[in-house]
Structure 1
């Protein structure tokens, strides 16, 4: 019995002596479990796996605007909920981001897929972007939220010469190789200069039907279409460079687009080269911007001949071999000028535009310029009131002088917001 008790005590002592060793092993195991748990959480937070419960990694944004316009020549007026846009930004991982926007236009009677792309963030100087992209042309097309510009309607130059909102399917590079230098370099499907009944032009009819999308006497804007089984036999190169640190308050930008546009519908390529330069400058209460655009279109005579043929659905009013335009806008931030202590902003402004979408016709075509499309002078003056930077109430008047010696006048009132 004594030996049994002694043996039990010895076992008990050994267990007590072994307890710290066992405890240490348990603590080590718990540490490993915690590390594994942290790693799983890290993987989830980086978007790996079938989704994430972290709602902060997905955010909504968007913008909208409503317009009231009146032709002061004949008194005709209309009101239009011009657009309401819903956008999504999602962090799929720390280095892969998704951006997408859907645009409900004209009281939600028209639906447009404005953009939807992935950003692969590799290095500040070199990143990859792929999907439905916004064309990097000018300072407005990529950043066209209505509180960011002062006029009710987008400027004529940024509507006709740069067909904002201009998007396309493709892939490209972007980055900032040094402080104050930003660039984008994309390859995207080209605009469509001509079309016929057998052209897939994004009309939503299975790729076989056409909706008459083409260049025209109004410029290149008609060459856009939704990325919906869109014809893509031609691709264009889009490049933009921005310099933001040359001088305090100054930003200078340059854009280039080059590519064929006939998509093998005819033998001629219809190569288009668009050159653009812009400047933005702010000094205290003074604010201004200016842009200039020149577009050369090869084979305009061949395209017009094709469009004039029976059965072809492209515009027959004449594709110009050259489009040219520029605008200059200046405004005053009134509270800052007057020394008012307020977060509100009131901006009286004036803009002059010259937009000639029929600047030069190809000598080989029988079509003469449609002078009613050449806007020799567009004068817009008005005021924008921003109670907060993401809300703008706008009032302006536009007087347009056309090359055919006629003119038009329009009063515009708008409310714009972004969230």
Structure 2
């Protein structure tokens, strides 16, 4: 199965490259400012935005990635989240868009994903996403359906050519659970040339499936049962782009995680689980021709962790999860295009099937990140029977290199130096990791 999926992924990669084989070789004037073929609609990554800029009333686009991590052991407590502990990943996504009118646009995604971990466990998933955009005014537009949440950076820029590392950062996988889809309604628009925003209401989280070491991640999946909209959440983001080359952003999520389920109290009575999750993020991003800089911070809060402890017993085989009352994560990352050191680059004057001289890059990046999944928690819960807690208090340094022959293709390699400051029986084991990957969009 692995070989078949590998060949499928490789074939799709070659097919994507060959789409450009019909382009005739032509001389490139390096003085001309390169223009991107991929524009972004607010809240969506590049390939996902294609229908909004297509000259036809329909569009087909997507992305794919194949990656490998030399992980020897599954991190403690991550056994039930194979995407956080995989060795092999094969992922292919296709977006289908249709413009009913200039004001009503349909967008949908079909994704297939196959993962395998060091223990030989494998996971195959078929994921659907669909939503409608109603373009009312540049300052007020509406999106309804199952769509990406507007929070942090990666969640709206999750295609593999849009970030340097093979995997998304741990800050934006464990604390901010990208990729995160919400079922609901949101509004977005441009307030002024300097400010744009998004705000919306979605269904709440399913706290019964929370895992201690990954905060709200396991409860983010959309639900379609009779209780799907029994609780709600608010999500908002505002971005400032008034400084040249800079984006400053702040976002938040506040939502109920009890899902109106009943739990038993310590006195033997029954009550409706009441747990509110809060997540706040902010980032600053600078992009210049050869340089990129990123700093991001996030802080999470959870009330009612004693209710969640009882609730997760039902969703996790009788094992209560000790959730954090507070957690925190932040990162800083810098990137520099090594190809710019070659000056004129006369060896890259012709555009062909693989190379686009206007967009070819070899970025070297370094990222430091810190996560503390249990900055504060109810220590009394650890005394309960069948209690589980996974504590990351980790420093992670990632050094990596990309080769981007075109805007839509990236070959990646990085190495992570990982250290967990936490000690004791609940401290997650950390190992240094080598990661390799190929990603593309079309």
Q: Residue 319 of structure 1 aligns with which residue?
A: 323
Q: Distance in 1 between matches of 2:430 and 2:126?
A: 33
Q: Residue 413 of structure 1 aligns with which residue?
A: 436
Q: Distance in 2 between matches of 1:327 and 1:416?
A: 23
Indicate whether 1:232 and 2:229 are aligned.
yes
Q: Residue 203 of structure 1 aligns with which residue?
A: none
Deviation of 1:139 after TM superposition, in Å, equals 1.6
Q: Secondary structure of the residue that 1:97 maps to in structure 2?
A: strand
Q: Secondary structure of the residue that 1:150 maps to in structure 2?
A: coil
Indicate whether 1:296 and 2:304 are aligned.
no
Q: Is the 8 A contact 1:380 1:398 kept in 2?
A: yes
Alignment: residue pair count: 343
Q: Is the 8 A contact 1:218 1:373 kept in 2?
A: no
Q: Is the 8 A contact 2:393 2:422 kept in 1?
A: no
Higher mean alpha-carbon deviation, 367-376 vs 159-168, is at: 367-376
- Give the number of the structure with larger relative contact order, counting CA–CA contacts within 8 Å between residues 6 or more apart: 2
Indicate whether 1:276 and 2:276 are aligned.
no
Q: Residue 356 of structure 1 aligns with which residue?
A: 372
Q: Distance in 1 between matches of 2:62 and 2:155?
A: 15
**Residues 367 and 94 (structure 1), Cα distance of their counterparts in 2 relative to 1, 3 Å cut:** farther
Indicate whether 1:400 and 2:409 are aligned.
no
Higher mean alpha-carbon deviation, 145-154 vs 223-232, is at: 223-232
Structure 1 runs (4+) deviating above 6 angstroms are 368-371
CA RMSD of the aligned region, Å?
Answer: 2.6
Q: Is the 8 A contact 1:117 1:133 kept in 2?
A: yes
236, 241, 246: which one aligns with 2:238: 241
Q: Distance in 1 between matches of 2:440 and 2:200?
A: 30
Q: Secondary structure of the residue that 2:161 maps to in structure 1?
A: helix
Indicate whether 1:287 and 2:303 are aligned.
no
Deviation of 1:178 after TM superposition, in Å, equals 1.1
**Cα displacement string for residues 151-203 of structure 1 (whole angstroms, at most 9, x for unaligned residues):** 00111111111111101210111111211311111100112112xxxxxxxxx
Q: Residue 168 of structure 1 aligns with which residue?
A: 182
Q: Residue 141 of structure 2 aligns with which residue?
A: 127
Q: Distance in 2 between matches of 1:280 and 1:67?
A: 26
Q: Is the 8 A contact 1:398 1:409 kept in 2?
A: yes
Deviation of 1:109 after TM superposition, in Å, equals 2.7
List alignment gaps of at least 5 residues for structure 1.
1-53, 195-212
Deviation of 1:81 after TM superposition, in Å, equals 4.1
Deviation of 1:371 after TM superposition, in Å, equals 7.7
Q: Distance in 1 between matches of 2:136 and 2:145?
A: 17
Q: Is the 8 A contact 1:215 1:315 kept in 2?
A: no
TM-score by length of structure 1 reads: 0.76
Q: Residue 94 of structure 1 aligns with which residue?
A: 102
Q: Residue 57 of structure 1 aligns with which residue?
A: 57
Q: Distance in 1 between matches of 2:329 and 2:168?
A: 15
Q: Is the 8 A contact 1:181 1:244 kept in 2?
A: yes
| Larger-Rg structure | 1
Indicate whether 1:336 and 2:340 are aligned.
yes
